[in-house]
Amino acid sequence: MTVQSDNERRRPETAGESSVTETMESAQTTGTAGTEVTDEQGGLERKMSARHLTMISLGGVIGTGLFLSSGYTIHQAGPFGAILAYGIGSLLVYFIMLSLGELSVAMPYAGSFHLYAKRFIGPGTAFTIAVLYWLNWAVALASEFTAAGLLMQRWFPDSPAWIWSAVFIVVVFLLNILSVRLYGESEFWFASIKVIAIIAFIVVGLFAIFGIIPIKGYSHAPLFGNFVSEGLLPNGIIPIFSTLLTVVFAFSGTEVVGVAAGETKDPQKAIPKAVHTTVLRLAIFFIGSIAVMSALIPWQKAGVDTSPFVLVFQSIGMPFAGDIMNFVVLTAVLSAANSGLYVCSRMVWSLAKEHMIPSALAKTNFHGVPVFAVLFSMAGSLLALLSSVVAASTVYLALVAVSGLATLVVWASVSVCHMLFRKRWISEGHSVSELRYKAPGYPFVPIAAIVMCVGALVLVVLDPSQRSTLLYMIPFVALCYVAYYASEAWRRRRNGKR
């Protein structure tokens, strides 16, 4: 539990100094009164609805990992092993989302992760988590812009990829800078295209599996023979654990619900709905897609050269299958970039609001958009993009390595904060029944999530291809702590405190 200084207590506008009770009362008033702008939100507006929140979470997860790389998971772990790996990943995400749901309903603030960490763990940890999460999305944002340019070359092979990347940079920037509702609405439609494509894939795939429509290479209904053609686990059980890490990272992005909670109308109703519907849909979409792929494509032929979605659509004779999926993947890339800039800017805004970085970055325009935070985040992603061109084997490699484990760190911190929140809530004389939303299965849910996150980190140590990530991660985390406490010491010294 963080002990606060007198200097911190004189800043009543920050979110981390009041008791849990006072914070919850403020959140409930904001959520039920339908207030668009609050002082505590620092000018951010509550304009997003439950449908925006759900699609934002889905949009942050469903991307190239499913559309392009899922074949690799099947090839490595086999059909049943891939489904098992995605099932375990779905369970971890569900546990994290339940904890995040309780915290976000109680304290719906933009940039929620580090605010929870500041309140229940400590300010140094809060600063580190925010920086890691910002870097994670900034690096991802840079890669999405690169991917978008390359995808456009399928239709315009003679055009330079950088021109298309620049066009999409401008588009994503405008969607984020104009208003939060425009961002939410655009992300809703971006995500909707991906969801429609997945549903169509699963439905058409089931028709092919049961022989309702013909599929190339089969004179009869394929059914599920590919699942057991060489045993349930043709490559053994070890590949399940090696692919599990990939699966966990594929689900990163669901936690965006917590970041967007501070700009959601009626968070007491919207957040729990988004939590449950998001995880259920993700489980159906990911596991359903993997099951269809595994039934129709022999696992030995599933790889990364061609999207499994394209292979299936081409096998049933769908015209322009490659172009259709190129459009869907392009939409997925733009959706991820859209979410990435939003998350980055809210992390910067929240850090500035908490006086951990210059307060000027917390200023908002008349639409409630933190303009300077958006500009700062876009600049950071463009620098990451530049480093991928001029220093790909040094600076960019280090950035990718450090950002790779950020999701696991954030998830673990959410579970820890959930447990500490409950402990503090009870110690203030309240009962669990007073909570507007309480995560079922407490304390098993946060404990299981922490164990699974630690298990994923163990997999990083055991995987030679991932092990070097820790060599960058550990010193970077230490540097974040040093930077925070050094800046705090300088601030106190400047204010005349010794």
pTM of the full structure: 0.83
DSSP symbols for 89-119: HHHHHHHHHHHHHHHHHHS--TTHHHHHHHH
| C-alpha span between 43 and 49 (Å, rounded) | 18
- CA neighbor of 91 nearest in space, from 458, 445, 441: 445
Cβ proximity of 140 and 385 under 8 Å: no
Which tens digits make up the pLDDT trace of 25-60?
555 454 443 334 343 455 555 666 666 677 776 766
Which tens digits make up the pLDDT trace of 365-380?
777 788 999 999 999 9
Tell me phi and psi for residue 160, to 5 degrees: -65, 140
Query: Which pair of tokens denotes residue 376?
Result: 């700062």
| C-alpha span between 74 and 8 (Å, rounded) | 52
DSSP symbols for 362-409: G---TTS--HHHHHHHHHHHHHHHHHHHHSTTTHHHHHHHHHHTHHHH
| C-alpha span between 245 and 240 (Å, rounded) | 9
Give the CA distances from residue 269 to residues 58, 100, 219, 261, 278, in Å, rounded to whole numbers and listed in that order: 18, 14, 51, 11, 14
Kindly state which CATH superfamily the domain 38-485 is placed in: Amino acid/polyamine transporter I (1.20.1740.10)
Handedness of CA 427, 433, 434, 435 (dihedral sign): positive
Domain residue ranges of the chain, discontinuous segments joined by +:
38-485
- The whole-number pLDDT of residue 374 equals 92
- Is 496 strand, coil or helix? coil
Digitized pLDDT (tens) for each residue of the chain, 498 residues in all: 333 333 333 333 444 455 666 655 555 454 443 334 343 455 555 666 666 677 776 766 777 667 767 777 887 888 888 888 888 888 998 899 899 889 988 887 766 778 899 999 999 999 999 999 899 888 888 888 888 888 898 899 888 888 999 999 999 999 888 877 777 788 788 888 888 888 888 898 898 888 888 887 777 777 777 777 777 777 778 777 777 777 877 787 778 777 766 667 777 777 787 777 777 888 888 888 888 888 887 776 666 566 778 878 888 888 888 888 888 888 888 888 888 888 888 889 888 888 888 888 888 877 778 899 999 999 999 998 888 888 777 787 778 778 778 888 899 999 999 999 999 999 998 899 889 889 999 999 999 999 999 988 888 888 777 777 888 888 999 999 999 999 888 888 887 655
Which tens digits make up the pLDDT trace of 261-302?
666 777 777 778 777 777 788 888 888 888 888 888 777 666
DSSP symbols for 409-458: HHHHHHHHHHHHHHHHHHHTT--GGGSSS--TTTTHHHHHHHHHHHHHHH
Which amino acid is present at 205?
G
Q: How many CA atoms lie within 13 A of 233 on its CB side?
A: 9
Cβ proximity of 336 and 59 under 8 Å: yes
| C-alpha span between 56 and 61 (Å, rounded) | 9
- Cα–chain center distance at 427: 32
